């Protein structure tokens, strides 16, 4: 399966998008432990007597010094192969990692463990995002990075402001205990303590706001919204998702002194966002995140923001295995899109998630087949079937792209009878000729079938 610098993985539910990322994470996610490598029985292919799992990744044109100077086994051309093998045994699963310049058996050598992850790795955001947990973990680092990038003038101004804050906090600390109910509460405590012991009578118990510690106060900062000077809690899962991803992106930008190269993987970035914000987010992530970025999505709006060559469509075969159309990112898909671009919209993009597409000429056929399906009890959505109106008889661009994405298609076209151009009263079956032309675009058409088409 081929990946591009920025690529988008699409496909129906349970087709294996998360599974694909899980395989990459086993190879590259440095957050994984030895327990994650000890695969379970359920990790093996259930539809055959599969005893082994092999995950293999090929890297090309590696030039980054932080990798080439630390990982041995890279070829002179910058090629590297990483491999994970797991084998199911009667009572346990064994595994091993291999590394080498190519996938030839003599080039792949077993290594003690995936220590290469310190320099070549993958950073992953799952579809279930724990926003506040991440904020609490990242806040200190975020403030520290901002602190380190200050100029001398800013540092001097901050010191003055910091001292002013501490002075004001001291005043707050002195004033709060003067509130009558706080004073009375501490008096009651001290009276009772004096009855118990006279040894500490010189000391009093007080309520302390601890506000005098400016650093402590800063460490307790929280993220909130503000409108005309009023503080608001951040509401809405969509807004929280946007903040999470923008904060995460800013935290994971490589610098000139980076000691590692990271591939970024994000599952379903569109969560809780309406269509306009889905498109904006896809564009933002593509621009903000440098290096290789892999996204998964169920959103046709995000699909529309990606180049055709960057789309990987996963689909299930008759033997229940999952494969990538056109071997993943491919120029074949791009060429198929060359005549399709002006038609690109949410409706065609929806078809990329379908198992089968019915192409019709106009809105009347679209209404007819949708109504017919309901009348005869066929649930098109449950069967993952889409009906597309091509707005005329320009079916070929749709057929080409559906073929490239390995999506089954059916065409319903009228058997028009039209006059042959520049002829004396001759007519032709335009609908039949159109159908014959479709056969030329049918994927994997056999030679004998091509001859039959020519005969027709």
- What CATH number was assigned to the domain covering residues 1-28+120-143+235-329? 3.40.50.300
Other CB atoms within 10 A of residue 50 CB: 11
Q: Are 360 and 412 in contact (CB under 8 A)?
A: yes
Q: What is the pLDDT of residue 184?
A: 74
| In the predicted structure, residue 343 carries a pLDDT above the cut 60 | no
Domain boundaries, the chain: 1-28+120-143+235-329, 31-113, 150-222, 340-455
Residue 243: pLDDT band by 50, 70, 90 thresholds? low
Average pLDDT, the chain: 81
The residue-averaged pLDDT of 41-67 equals 88
Please name the helix (run of DSSP H) or strand (run of DSSP E) that holds residue 437, with its range, or none.
Answer: helix 430-440
The residue-averaged pLDDT of 416-432 equals 82
| In the predicted structure, residue 324 carries a pLDDT above the cut 90 | yes
Residue 339: pLDDT band by 50, 70, 90 thresholds? low
Residue 119: pLDDT band by 50, 70, 90 thresholds? very high
Sequence-separated contacts (24+) of 110-119 with Cβ below 8 Å: 114/27, 114/28, 114/30, 114/82, 116/70, 116/71, 116/82, 117/28, 117/29, 117/30, 118/30, 118/70, 118/259, 118/260, 119/66, 119/67, 119/70, 119/71, 119/259, 119/260, 119/261
Residue 277: pLDDT band by 50, 70, 90 thresholds? confident
Residue 423: pLDDT band by 50, 70, 90 thresholds? confident
Half-sphere exposure of 351 (CA within 13 A, CB side): 26
DSSP H helical ranges for 126-151: 131-148
Q: What is the pLDDT of residue 274?
A: 76
| In the predicted structure, residue 412 carries a pLDDT above the cut 60 | yes
pTM over 0.75: no
| In the predicted structure, residue 336 carries a pLDDT above the cut 70 | no
Q: What is the pLDDT of residue 92?
A: 82
| In the predicted structure, residue 403 carries a pLDDT above the cut 90 | no
The residue-averaged pLDDT of 278-297 equals 79
Q: What is the pLDDT of residue 432?
A: 84
| In the predicted structure, residue 78 carries a pLDDT above the cut 90 | yes
Q: What is the pLDDT of residue 252?
A: 62
Collect all residues with Cβ–Cβ distance below 8 Å to 397 and sequence separation of at least 6.
336, 339, 340, 343
């Amino acid at each position: 399966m081929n990946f591009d610098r920025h690529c988008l993985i699409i496909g129906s539910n349970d087709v294996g998008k998360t599974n694909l990322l899980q395989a990459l994470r086993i190879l590259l996610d440095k957050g994984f432990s030895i327990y994650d490598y000890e695969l379970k029985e359920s990790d093996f292919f259930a539809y055959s007597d599969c005893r082994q799992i092999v995950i293999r990744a090929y890297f090309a044109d590696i030039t980054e010094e932080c990798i080439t100077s630390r990982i041995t086994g890279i070829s002179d051309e910058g090629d590297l192969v990483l491999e994970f093998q797991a084998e199911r045994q009667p009572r346990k699963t064994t595994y091993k990692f291999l590394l080498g310049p190519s996938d030839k058996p003599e080039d792949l050598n077993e290594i003690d463990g995936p220590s290469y992850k310190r320099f070549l790795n993958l950073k992953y955001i799952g579809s279930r995002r724990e926003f506040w947990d991440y904020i609490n973990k990242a806040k200190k680092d975020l403030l520290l990075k901002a602190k380190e990038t200050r100029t001398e003038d800013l540092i001097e101004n901050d010191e003055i402001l910091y001292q002013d804050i501490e002075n004001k906090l001291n005043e707050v600390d002195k004033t709060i205990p003067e509130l009558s109910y706080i004073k009375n509460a501490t008096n009651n405590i001290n009276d009772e303590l004096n009855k118990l012991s006279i040894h500490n009578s010189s000391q009093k118990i007080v309520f302390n706001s601890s506000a005098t510690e400016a650093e402590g106060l800063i460490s307790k900062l929280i993220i909130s919204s503000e409108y005309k000077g009023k503080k608001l809690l951040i509401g809405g899962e969509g807004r929280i998702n946007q903040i999470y991803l923008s904060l995460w992106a800013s935290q994971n930008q490589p610098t000139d002194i980076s000691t590692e190269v990271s591939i970024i993987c994000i599952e379903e970035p569109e969560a809780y966002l309406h269509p306009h914000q889905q498109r904006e987010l896809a564009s933002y992530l593509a621009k903000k995140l440098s290096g290789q970025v892999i996204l998964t999505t169920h959103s046709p709006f995000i699909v529309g923001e990606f180049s055709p060559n960057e789309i990987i469509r996963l689909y299930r075969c008759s033997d229940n295995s999952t494969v990538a159309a056109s071997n993943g990112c491919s120029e074949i898909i791009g060429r198929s899109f060359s005549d399709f671009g002006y038609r690109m919209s949410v409706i065609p993009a929806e078809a990329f998630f379908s198992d089968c597409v019915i192409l019709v000429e106009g809105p009347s056929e679209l209404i007819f087949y949708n109504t017919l399906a309901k009348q005869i009890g066929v649930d098109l959505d449950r069967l993952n079937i889409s009906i597309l109106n091509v707005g005329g008889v320009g079916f070929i661009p749709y057929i080409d792209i559906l073929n490239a994405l390995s999506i089954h298609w059916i065409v319903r076209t009228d058997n028009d009878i039209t006059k042959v151009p520049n002829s004396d009263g001759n007519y032709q079956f335009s609908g039949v000729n159109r159908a014959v032309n479709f056969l030329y675009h049918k994927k994997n058409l056999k030679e004998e079938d091509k001859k039959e088409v020519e005969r027709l």
